Amino acid sequence: MSTARRRLRRCVDVSFAALAVLTARLNAQVESPLTLLQVEVRDSIGLPLPDARIETFTFLEGGIVMEWVPVEPHQLPPGIALLRFSHPGYRSAVFSVPLRDDGKVSLRVSLDRMRDSTKAADPLEARSVRAIGLALDGRAKTDVIGGRRVLTPGNLEQAGVSRLGDLLRRARNTDMSVIPARNGTYQVYNGRSRAGYSCEPAVMINGDRRRVLPFSTVDGLYLAADVEALEIFTRGPTLPLPYAVAPGGCGFMVLWLKNP
């Protein structure tokens, strides 16, 4: 074979190899799932925790109660999902994230080391969410975290509470005022509200925007033992738009139930 033919054949082989690589990349892009959530988990000083565990609170196939299930970000569907971020030696973070099928959320979560706290985990303390979450829509970036505190009551056998109103009254750091009323009921209002005791916060059930009820109604339907997590927002600029489904300035909650 002449030198010219060998050069021509080498060029053809290289071209076919490059075409094969390009085709593989395009196929991978087509087959790869649409990821609605980008997540970065860090420690309290900003160092990445690449092996952090992500779980979502959902029904397993055939299940009758909701459970924590390990998940990858690309497996999450549109909707408001309750997520848990954890890593050995760190305190877990639990809060919901709203996802849309026509956008993407960029999330950065900070976890505190267990030794950073001088007190043991308190099931009756609402904790502030340490995360930055932005919904990306072109050049626009919208906050999806807002100002919220999350109560994860866990085992309530030692807490001496049974009703949801009892739980909220005993809980600390909620920024809600809970006043005993008649027949064991409670009047609840945003601690910063001037609207009086009649200003009652709305409650969304398990991230479903179609299930929003007054707190007094929810208090009569569910027990404290049913609660997996309770997210508490202050109305106004601290409430992200995906949660703004009820009028008023009385506060807003998202109640996550084990058996909704």
Tens of pLDDT along 16-25?
444 343 344 4
Domain at 148-257, CATH class: mainly beta
What pLDDT score was predicted for residue 11?
46
* Mean predicted lDDT score pLDDT of the chain: 82
Question: Residues spanned by CATH 2.60.40.1120 within the chain?
Answer: 37-143
Q: Both tokens of residue 62?
A: 């055939």
If one compares 129 and 120, the residue with the highest pLDDT of the two is 129
CATH superfamily name and code, 37-143: Carboxypeptidase-like, regulatory domain (2.60.40.1120)
Q: What angle do CA 11, 13, 19 make, to 5 degrees?
A: 100
Q: How many residues does the chain have?
A: 260
Tens of pLDDT along 32-90?
457 999 999 999 899 999 999 999 999 988 788 899 999 999 999 999 999 999 999 99
**Cβ distance 126 to 174 under 8 Å?**
yes
3-state secondary structure 174-213: CCEEEEECHHHCEEEEECCCCCCCCCCCEEEECCCCCCEE
Q: Both tokens of residue 222?
A: 């569910």
Three-state secondary-structure class, residue 172 = strand
Tens of pLDDT along 194-228?
544 557 889 999 999 999 999 989 998 999 999 99
What pLDDT score was predicted for residue 116?
53
Question: Residues spanned by CATH 2.170.130.10 within the chain?
Answer: 148-257
What is the mean pLDDT of the segment spanning 117-139? Answer: 82
For the four alpha carbons of 84, 90, 167 and 254, in that order, the dihedral sign comes to: negative
Rounded Cα distance, 60 and 260, in Å: 14
Q: What is the DSSP annotation of 93-157?
A: EEEEEEE-TT-EEEEEEEE-BGGG-SS---TTB-EE--EEEEEEETTEEEESS-SEEEE-----T
113 pLDDT higher than 50? yes
Rounded Cα distance, 255 and 129, in Å: 16
Tens of pLDDT along 1-43?
555 455 545 543 434 444 343 344 434 433 345 799 999 999 9
